[in-house]
Amino acid sequence: MTDNNQEKTQVAIIGGGLTGLVTAFWLSKEGVDATIIEKGGNAGGVIGTGNENGFTWESGPNTGIVSHPEVAELFDELGGMCEMETADKRAKKRLIWKNGSWHPLPAGVIEAVRTPLFTTGDKLRILFEPFRKKGNDPFETLEGMVKRRLGQSFLDYAVDPFISGIYAGDPSYLIPKYALPKLYALEQEYGSFIGGAVRKMLKKKDAREKKVTKEVFSVSGGLANLTGTLELQAKNTRILTNVSELTVTPFNNGYFLQGEKDNREVAIKSRFVVSTAGPYEFDNLFPFFGRSELALLNSLEYARVIQVIMGFREWKGMDLNAFGGLVPSREKRDILGVLFPSSFLKNRAPEGGALLSVFLGGYRRPDIFSLSDDEITGIAIKETKDMLGLGNHSPELLKLYRYRHAIPQYGKDSKERLEAIGRLHSSFPGLVLAGNIHEGIGMSDRIRQGKRIAAHIIKAL
Ligand SMILES: Cc1cc2nc3c(=O)[nH]c(=O)nc-3n(C[C@H](O)[C@H](O)[C@H](O)COP(=O)(O)OP(=O)(O)OC[C@H]3O[C@@H](n4cnc5c(N)ncnc54)[C@H](O)[C@@H]3O)c2cc1C
């Protein structure tokens, strides 16, 4: 603290989740000092790993995809301190529930011809996908786009469950331009998903592009080892946890942050402020934002998600030789899907046992969120017993985690929201609105954004 009880830092980062920690790590590597201000009791955000009786599980995200070079670059930098674990090849198999049983999502042409997931009409229709006219409505929903290019059964039994698995979302709400920009670009740039994917595959990649392996990744021992290592290695960073009532005020070519910790005032002056909080925090955090801008940011909707972890010391159900199973909304079951982490990651369950991660709720089933913990675990157990052939065998480990603001849904209002973010960045130099309100919802998007923001600040200093 300085004489007048005000701390000074070059960069104040609101939120100690993955985005905040990655930003602090890369700033620290260049000798820039930062202060992370976190309202929770520890850093890590929604990432958390638990250990008990031979089980290791994730309370938040389970795995990411190496979809940006920044992911490989971060792990290279952390080499020896925190090891990326790529999933076993079993993770390539994804199961989809249809008419009372699981079917693998086709991975090759023969499987695609044989699968009962799609109608014969749509299977034939897909042959003409490369010749179909490209869409010209940037606000077309994912549902509209998939029906137009691939057909209803691909929407129902491939895209709908896939979107449940990523966004816990609804294809009739999400806009591909914002929610799945790579898919949108395939149609816009190449006129076809299939043609575009093939041409991209054949395109010569430079060394950096080759780092984008698209592999499923976790971290040896669990994802909390990543956030824990970042916390330790962001050596120029101070982390203040349990800070409540945080508010930011523009002040003399920088910002003044005030909050409360242990019944004492926290007061920090900073040249830059990076916020990784959701817009539902902005009323209190940024009282100087205009009402109309706040409304645009606050229109962002979130899927509420509940994760139920189940551990079995001895597995007596069906063969779990896959990444997991996803349940299309058409099937009207009470779970979104179930992952089999012990099938594709090391040391997640005792030998012969199994670890399951069951997801419920999502954008389409907010009703589940209002049930009690006992009711929700009851549903999760009933559904998994039925769908995974467990008979009367009950889990020895049972945990439940709720997320009211789990995954933002990039819908029609995204354009206006992105424009509002742009205007706020221009009006308030040094303020960076980050986190999953834009630039993607996955862990690898957060890793990319954190590095980009750090580079931007280092350049501006
Ligand atoms: C249940 C669940 C499952 C997921 N599964 C996957 C997956 O399988 N693969 C994948 O890639 N991604 C997944 N994700 C998304 C991924 O976890 C997130 O994109 C990423 O971890 C978010 O990191 P973040 O730092 O941006 O946000 P957060 O982790 O939410 O961190 C933000 C931090 O800011 C703090 N904060 C907020 N407001 C304030 C305030 N006013 N003052 C101080 N601090 C504040 C919060 O306490 C929090 O610690 C999942 C997310 C959830 C919730």
- Rounded to whole angstroms, the Cα distance separating 452 from 438 reads 13
Percent of the chain with pLDDT over 90: 95
- Indicate whether residue 38 lines ligand 1 (CB < 6 A): yes
Tell me the mean pLDDT in the region 327-331: 98
Beta carbons within 8 Å of 103's beta carbon, 6+ residues apart: 95, 96, 97, 115, 116, 117
Could you tell which of 275, 276, 402, 441 is best to mutate to test the pocket of ligand 1, judged by most ligand atoms within 8 Å of the CB? 276
pTM of the model: 0.97
> Do residues 84 and 211 touch, judged by C-beta distance below 8 A?
no
Query: Of all protein residues, whose CA lies closest to atom 29 belonging to ligand 1?
Result: 45
- Indicate whether residue 49 lines ligand 1 (CB < 6 A): no
- pLDDT for res 111: 86
Taking the domains of the chain in order of start, what are their residue ranges?
7-42+223-300+413-460, 104-209
Instruction: Annotate 151-213 with three-state secondary structure.
Output: CHHHHHHHHHHHHHHHHCCCCCCCCHHHHCHHHHHHHHHHCCHHHHHHHHHHCCCCCCHHHCC
- Indicate whether residue 273 lines ligand 1 (CB < 6 A): no
pLDDT digits (tens, 9 = 90+) for 371-399: 999 999 999 999 999 999 998 889 999 99
Instruction: State the residue for tokens 């820039």.
Output: 32
Q: Quick one: which atom of ligand 1 is closest to the CA of 449? A: 26
- Indicate whether residue 24 lines ligand 1 (CB < 6 A): no
Bridge partners, residue 218, by sequence: 85
- Rounded to whole angstroms, the Cα distance separating 251 from 123 reads 61
Q: Which helix (H) or strand (E) holds 55?
A: strand 55-58
> Do residues 327 and 333 touch, judged by C-beta distance below 8 A?
yes
- Rounded to whole angstroms, the Cα distance separating 264 from 260 reads 5
Read out DSSP for 331-369?
A: G--S-SEEE-HHHHSTTSS-TT-EEEEEEEE-TT-HHHH
How far apart, in Å, do the first and last CA atoms of the chain sit? 22
- Rounded to whole angstroms, the Cα distance separating 416 from 225 reads 37
Burial class (CB in 10 A: 0-12, 13-18, 19+), 17: buried
In Å, the largest CA–CA distance within the chain is 76
- Indicate whether residue 276 lines ligand 1 (CB < 6 A): yes
Domain 104-209: give its CATH architecture. Answer: Orthogonal Bundle (1.10)
Q: Examine the pLDDT at 215 and tell me if it is beyond 90.
A: yes
Token pair of 9 as six digits: 């830092």
* Ligand 1 center from residue 15 Cα (angstroms): 9
Q: Which helix (H) or strand (E) holds 443?
A: helix 443-460
- Rounded to whole angstroms, the Cα distance separating 32 from 11 reads 8
CATH number of 7-42+223-300+413-460: 3.50.50.60
Q: Quick one: which atom of ligand 1 is closest to the CA of 243? A: 43
Q: Examine the pLDDT at 1 and tell me if it is beyond 60.
A: no
- Rounded to whole angstroms, the Cα distance separating 208 from 72 reads 9
Token pair of 404 as six digits: 């009211």
Tell me the mean pLDDT in the region 290-300: 97
- pLDDT for res 5: 60
pLDDT band at 266 (very low <50, low <70, confident <90, very high): very high
How many other CB atoms are there within 10 angstroms of residue 158's CB atom? Answer: 22
Tell me the mean pLDDT in the region 299-321: 97
List, in sequence order, every beta strand (DSSP E) within 362-411. 397-409
Could you tell which of 66, 219, 443, 445 is best to mutate to test the pocket of ligand 1, judged by most ligand atoms within 8 Å of the CB? 443
Q: Examine the pLDDT at 285 and tell me if it is beyond 60.
A: yes
Token pair of 176 as six digits: 């591909």
Tell me the mean pLDDT in the region 121-134: 92
Sign of CA dihedral 332, 391, 345, 304: positive
